[in-house]
Amino acid sequence: MQKSINGSMLRKMMLAGASLLEENKNYVDSLNVFPVPDGDTGTNMSLTMRSVASEINDCTDNNIDSIADAFAKGALKGARGNSGVILSQILRGMSVSLREKSLTEIGPKQFAAALNKGAETAYKAVTKPKEGTILTVVRMMAECATKLAKKKIDMDDMLKQVVEQGEETLKQTPEMLPVLKQAGVVDSGGRGLVIVFTGFYKSIINDETLKINYEEFDKVQTQSTNYESNEAIINLENLGDIQFAYCTEFMVIQMKKKTTEADIDKLREKLMEIGDCVICVGDLSLVKVHVHTNQPNVALGYALELGELTKLKIENMLEQNRALKAKRAKMAELKPYGIVSVCAGDGLEALFKDCGVDYCIKGGQTMNPSADDIAKAIENVPAKDIYVLPNNKNIVLAAEQSKTLISNKTIHVIPTASIPEGINACLSFNPDATPEETEVQMIEAMKSVKSSSITYAVRNTEIDGFKLAEGDIIGLNEKSILAKGEDIPETVEKVIEKQINEDIMSITLFYGDKINEEEANSLCEKLQQKYENCEVSVVNGGQPVYYYLISLQ
């Protein structure tokens, strides 16, 4: 029986949740509604939890406040895709609740309050919350936890029933969202969340056999392994004023026979005499040391009295500080505006830069950048106002979240859902307008484009009136499957026929890395003959996964 959770158990739970999701990410990917190769909910959520695991491993103590702060920070930095961002908000809300109470132990009431705060925070993060998604799953799990907390219940039993509630809610998601029922799947984000909480439960009951057969739930088999969480890693991101020049880190192993626990305490005291920011933790099997000092040789000498040294790292913080000052000086010379765009493919990157984009983040289908990735790209553009073009509906939330990671610039996220929308937004940019006027103009410009794409089905399914087999060529827009065909050119024609009208003046095909120039030009000529009143052109986009991206304007 586990009546409550301490900081050490909270750490293990988060790492186990991350581990279980990592092993099951391909399964969660397979639940995406559209049977296309960029179904990456599981990958995005797993990368988010991987960042959580990294930050938790960087946390040097098992205080609940510290662990909660670490998993919230990791989730925020690593959030990718819509489901990853929502997961990060769930964890952020839980973290806020746990830290508000300065807890030493987490009981059922405190856990229920944290989960409710997580659900509330997640709902607030989404402009138009949709039931039948991960939001519904977390809300129902939180309501279940609240009811259970009013009873006399242990934490392990509570988590077991919360997971069961998650499973039950998942079964209901196809009834809440017709598109899920049509595709014959449960919500992928909700499944990812339940997997994380299953990891929590398995950890708390010390069940190391983390192989789970989901065939009984969703007809897919998955498995899991554990993370090791014993080693502490120091986070050196926030350095204070530099009094001591050398950041010195190492581990002491293979202790001498005469070494005692008291000697480890003495080593800590000696290090404090020659430096600051001292961490000296461990036991007679391994000691982890970190110290800022002007005498790294002396620190190493003290440690050698205890045993052998390994994992040595000595960094000159004065040199780092000079580089940081130089970077800040460069950033001080800011230009009025800059543009950051997400795209995949050398051709598309070159095109965006020709349109005035300062920095291109490699990403898009199958590889959504995180909020931290976008923030780092923004930091690389020396401008006061930055316009961000996600160019994918699954990246918009991460782009919005990147704003919370940057305080010295004004970020304007233009919610472009496709490459054609992003390019049109760029072309409308007016450097003489105010930032607010420019943002409005770019959003209006993106709305004037009809976007679609050509790819292939990755599984058998029935959706949007089409019976698809794995490998079928399909055409789709941001909302639905528009056509399927025997070959790529035929499917392109069908998609254009469904979208074109008398107001369309131009058709642009961006061909991917699986299409050669001759094939693209041949299709262009055919379309030009068919649509004499339109200007038809082709551009080498070089994008993976999608044979063609189509722009009608």
pLDDT at site 76: 82
**CA distances from residue 321 to 233, 245, 327, 408, 431 in whole angstroms, order as listed:** 22, 10, 10, 19, 35
Q: What is the pTM of this model?
A: 0.67
In the CATH hierarchy, which top-level class contains the domain 334-447? Answer: alpha beta
Give the phi and the psi of residue 291 in degrees, each rounded to 5.
-155, 140
Residue 17 has pLDDT above 70, yes or no: yes
Task: Give ranges for CATH 3.40.50.510 in the chain.
Answer: 334-447
pLDDT at site 407: 84
Residue 375 has pLDDT above 90, yes or no: yes
Give the phi and the psi of residue 228 in degrees, each rounded to 5.
-90, 135
C-alpha to C-alpha distance for 38 and 30, rounded to whole angstroms? 10
State the chain's mean pLDDT as an integer: 86
- Tokens for 456, please give them: 């292939």
pLDDT at site 34: 64
pLDDT at site 520: 94
| Cα-to-chain-centroid distance, residue 209 | 27
H/E segment holding residue 476: strand 473-476
Task: Give ranges for CATH 3.30.1180 in the chain.
Answer: 450-552
Q: Counting Cβ atoms within 10 Å, is residue 187 exposed (0-12), middle (13-18) or buried (19+)?
A: buried
Q: What is the CATH number of domain 450-552?
A: 3.30.1180
| Residue 489 CB coordination number (10 Å) | 20
In the CATH hierarchy, which top-level class contains the domain 246-321? Answer: alpha beta
**CA distances from residue 283 to 11, 262, 263, 409 in whole angstroms, order as listed:** 20, 10, 10, 46
C-alpha to C-alpha distance for 285 and 174, rounded to whole angstroms? 52
Residue 235 has pLDDT above 60, yes or no: no
pLDDT at site 15: 92
pLDDT (mean) for 459-485: 90
C-alpha to C-alpha distance for 429 and 436, rounded to whole angstroms? 12
Q: Model confidence at 31, in pLDDT bands (50, 70, 90)?
A: confident
Task: Give ranges for CATH 1.25.40.340 in the chain.
Answer: 7-218
Higher-confidence residue of 358 and 285: namely 358
Residue 215 has pLDDT above 80, yes or no: no
Give the phi and the psi of residue 524 in degrees, each rounded to 5.
-60, -45
* H, E, C per residue of 278-318: EEEEECCCCEEEEEEECCHHHHHHHHHCCCEEEEEEEEEHH
HSE value, Cβ hemisphere, 13 Å, CA-based, for 523 = 26
pLDDT (mean) for 282-303: 86
Give residues with Cβ within 8 angstroms of 335, minimum separation 6: 382, 383, 384
Lowest mean pLDDT among 14-28, 204-218, 332-346, 359-373: 204-218
Residue 240 has pLDDT above 70, yes or no: no
**Ramachandran bin of 184, using left for φ above 0, alpha for ψ from -120 to 50, beta for the remaining angles:** left
pLDDT at site 229: 31
Percent of the chain residues past pLDDT 90, beyond the cut? 58
Residue 157 has pLDDT above 50, yes or no: yes
pLDDT (mean) for 227-240: 31
Q: Is-contact 463 494, C-beta < 8 A? A: no
- The tens digit of pLDDT for each residue in 401-437 reads 999 898 889 999 999 999 999 999 999 999 889 999 9
Percent of the chain residues past pLDDT 70, beyond the cut? 89
Higher-confidence residue of 400 and 324: namely 400
HSE value, Cβ hemisphere, 13 Å, CA-based, for 407 = 0
Alpha helices in 448-537 (DSSP H): 488-499, 517-530
pLDDT at site 242: 63
Residue 10 has pLDDT above 90, yes or no: yes
C-alpha to C-alpha distance for 265 and 9, rounded to whole angstroms? 26
pLDDT at site 329: 61
- The tens digit of pLDDT for each residue in 84-120 reads 889 998 999 999 999 887 788 999 999 999 999 999 9
Q: Model confidence at 285, in pLDDT bands (50, 70, 90)?
A: confident
pLDDT at site 367: 81
Residue 390 has pLDDT above 80, yes or no: yes
- Tokens for 529, please give them: 């003959």
Q: Model confidence at 189, in pLDDT bands (50, 70, 90)?
A: very high
Q: Where are the beta strands (DSSP E) in 245-286?
A: 246-253, 275-282
Handedness of CA 72, 73, 74, 80 (dihedral sign): positive
Lowest mean pLDDT among 217-226, 362-371, 385-394: 217-226
pLDDT at site 211: 58
Q: Is-contact 475 486, C-beta < 8 A? A: no
Please state which of the four CATH numbers 1.10.357.10, 1.25.40.340, 1.10.150.120, 3.90.1150.30 is assigned to the domain occupying 7-218.
1.25.40.340
Residue 225 has pLDDT above 60, yes or no: no
